[in-house]
């Protein structure tokens, strides 16, 4: 009984850690979506910019550089498989928006798949945990009874 309980406890712990990791992945993907959506808003604002208009460009955490817009109708977009790719192409604002919207859709699809896996895992955890708790309580009761019997022997 103790070995079986130990196995169930390990399985539950593993499943709970897996669920936590999936939850973190969902949050990371949401941050990626938020980033893309911020870029989409910026593209909308750039569209209204004028040639030679001075703008601030973020180059790091809370660090900006002043620059002048040469051609506000075009932007440079990373197009490799990884989102931080080093393959860049020049696109129109609309072309860049299209690319970003496709990426948002891809990330949302990945997020939805992970969410479905998480929900299945949570269902499994919710089925196993009550059975584990019932068996554990039964085991504790049996241990207490056997200790009670041993104390009468002395």
Kindly report, residue by residue over 119-145, the tens digit of the pLDDT: 999 999 999 999 999 999 999 999 999
- 3-state helix/strand/coil string of 28-72: HHHHHHHHHHHHHHHHHHHHCCCCCCEEEEEEECCEEEEEECCCC
Q: What is the mean pLDDT of residues 85-107?
A: 92
- Sequence spans of domains, the chain: 2-136
pLDDT at position 92: 95
pLDDT the model gives residue 118: 98
Distances (CA, A) of 65 to 40, 51, 75, 121: 21, 17, 17, 47
As a whole number of angstroms, the distance between CA 69 and CA 54 comes to 6
* pTM for this prediction: 0.78
Domain at 2-136: CATH code: 1.10.287.370
State the chain's mean pLDDT as an integer: 90
């Amino acid at each position: 009984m103790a070995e079986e309980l130990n196995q169930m406890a390990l399985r539950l712990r593993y499943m709970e850690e897996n669920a936590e990791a999936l939850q973190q992945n969902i949050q990371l993907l949401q941050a990626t979506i938020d980033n893309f959506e911020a870029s989409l808003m910026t593209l909308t604002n750039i569209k209204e910019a004028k040639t030679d208009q001075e703008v601030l460009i973020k180059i790091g955490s809370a660090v900006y550089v002043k620059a002048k817009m040469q051609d506000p109708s075009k932007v440079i977009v990373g197009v490799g498989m990884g989102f931080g790719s080093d393959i860049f192409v020049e696109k129109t604002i609309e072309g860049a928006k299209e690319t970003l919207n496709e990426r948002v859709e891809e990330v949302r699809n990945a997020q939805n798949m992970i969410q479905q896996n998480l929900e299945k895992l949570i269902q499994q955890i919710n089925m196993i945990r009550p059975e584990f708790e019932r068996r554990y309580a039964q085991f504790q009761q049996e241990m207490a009874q056997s200790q009670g019997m041993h104390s009468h022997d002395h």
